[in-house]
Amino acid sequence: MKKIGVVLSGCGVYDGSEIHEAVFTLLAIDRNGAEAVCLAPDMEFREVNHLTSQETGAVRNTLVESARIARGKIRNVAEIAAADLDAVVFPGGFGAAKNLCNFAEKGAGASIHPEVARLIREMALAKKPIGAICIAPALIAATLGRDYKPKVTIGTDAGTAAAIVDTGSEHVDCPVTEFVVDRENKIVTTPAYMLANRISEAAEGIEKAVKTVIDMA
């Protein structure tokens, strides 16, 4: 059975992983006969109240919060190498752009969590598929742009697309229910809630993208 890493960044769209996107990813992996291996970095982040969208002043742990989505079955990303996986997928949510990297603040000049960067680079070097959803393609662009010039999508947002291009990557506009494949680098991306107005739209694009990742593995 193929093992597909799912790198989470917390639990909740404003300060962690977008929960719908994470669950659709896990469901698609299971439906396509593969095994999800949930991962997250062990780090602290500032909590956001999801009712008010304001920071609370509290601090939470990414690995602990991600364990909520993974039902407790999760590994520290530092313990996993590319050799342990057949592919990896990154759901979106602001955590992908604030916890796994700081693209939300720094754009093309973003720094990447060192263990997340290591895993992404190991997967790229091993020519193993990488999937990224919603804003997470910006993480892939910031990590691999200079060396691999990946082709990715976050949908149609011009500002975010421009920042992705500034990393050395290529951005391709894409509708919400579809996905973009960089076959040379084995990178699959889909817009999900960067564009979705309905939960079914996000689900459709993610299902297609994850199936493609698994087929490429």
- As a whole number of angstroms, the distance between CA 192 and CA 133 comes to 6
Q: Considering only CA atoms, which of 76, 99, 74, 83 is closest in space to residue 14?
A: 99
Is residue 100 a contact partner of residue 77, using CB atoms and an 8 Å limit?
A: no
DSSP codes, 153-215: ---S-HHHHHHHHHTT-EE----TT--EEETTTTEEEE-GGGT-SSHHHHHHHHHHHHHHHHH
- Among 38, 101, 134, 174, the one annotated catalytic: 134
Q: Based on the residue annotation, tell me whether 134 is a catalytic residue of this protein.
A: yes
Is 107 strand, coil or helix? Answer: helix
Q: Which residues are catalytic?
A: 134
